[in-house]
Structure 1
Amino acid sequence: MKAKLAADGLDESIAALAATSQHEVLAAWAGDCAERVLPYVEAASPEEKRPRQAVEAGRAWVRRELKMTAARQAAFAAHSAAREVSPAAACAACRAAGHAAATAHVATHAVHAATYAVKAVYKAAGPGLAASAVMQEREWQYRHLIRLNEE
């Protein structure tokens, strides 16, 4: 992650915790991280459904209602949406959703979903608010991953 998006040690803590988390926990967490930034897509392009569908596909995989290959296809669709939307916060939110769905295929995509969610928050924050917004988002992500691991 670029220095301007770094969150004072939380990035490393999240990566370490993710490395010891179960695949399904990571998929649920990635979906939750991505869902928090979907409003950026929905405000910019209300007709764009692929990112939300990707988050839902990842959750359906966790519930064993969807095969990994279908979740992976939803991930590709969300990444296609990222190439078509603007502003930058909406694009990053699409990428977060794509990585959330892709976590069904490879668990390490979860950290990328969280990183893109932070990037969306950063891009959406006004001048002077970005650092605080990034820190708050990373703190939520870390606490949430701890909570999901405890369930």
Structure 2
Amino acid sequence: MEPTPDRVLTAWAADCAEHVLAQFPDFADDAAQTAIAAARAWAVDGEDLDACRDAAYAAHLSARELAEAGYHAVANAVRAASNAAASADDSALAEAGADYALEAISGNSAPCEFQHNLEAERRWQWEQLPASQRGQVFEAEPPEPGAAACAI
């Protein structure tokens, strides 16, 4: 089956990437920001697919460098941006980008907040996606997140 693009899913993937990158304010990544911008631009007008491809590749390389330096959680956040841009070619990569966002959250969460943070992020992702497209990505509506178990 031929991969198909979907502007709504690409825009959603860009939102997911931007949301998770905000969890890492000390790791501003120009390649990730460029990938998000390219994905959003393509989602608006469907033009300049080459810019998405180039931005996805650059973000992929940046994520690899971050992972090799030991910054695995932020590398996954950058991978989310890379997949958002790449989803202009294949909408299945939008879901992959959202999954990378979850991996970034899991890698950046303390054990006592791990489950809550994952549930909250997945619920946020659900809420950002138009109802008409949720069935393409989600098997069921994610539950509201439970309370974090951290005692402060």
| TM bin (shorter chain) | 0.7 to 0.9
Larger Rg: 2
Q: Is the 8 A contact 2:7 2:46 kept in 1?
A: no
Question: What aligned pairs does 1:52-131 form with structure 2 within 5 A after superposition?
Answer: 52-64=33-45, 66-85=47-66, 86-131=70-115
Task: Structure 2 unaligned segments of length 5 or more: list them.
Answer: 135-152
Please, what TM-score do these two structures have when normalized by structure 1?
0.77
* Aligned equivalents of 2:130, 2:46: Cα separation in 1: 25
Structure 1 residues 89 and 136: CA distance shift in structure 2, 3 A: same
**Structure with greater helix share of residues:** 1
Q: Is the 8 A contact 1:54 1:78 kept in 2?
A: yes
Structure 1 residue ranges, 4+ long, deviating more than 6 angstroms after superposition: none
* Aligned equivalents of 2:46, 2:64: Cα separation in 1: 28
* Aligned equivalents of 1:93, 1:33: Cα separation in 2: 9
* Aligned equivalents of 1:88, 1:143: Cα separation in 2: 27
* Aligned equivalents of 1:148, 1:111: Cα separation in 2: 15
Structure 1 residues 30 and 43: CA distance shift in structure 2, 3 A: same
Larger relative CO (CA 8 A, sep 6+): 1 or 2? Answer: 1
Q: CA RMSD in A?
A: 2.0
How many residue pairs get matched?
A: 127
Task: Structure 1 unaligned segments of length 5 or more: list them.
Answer: 1-21
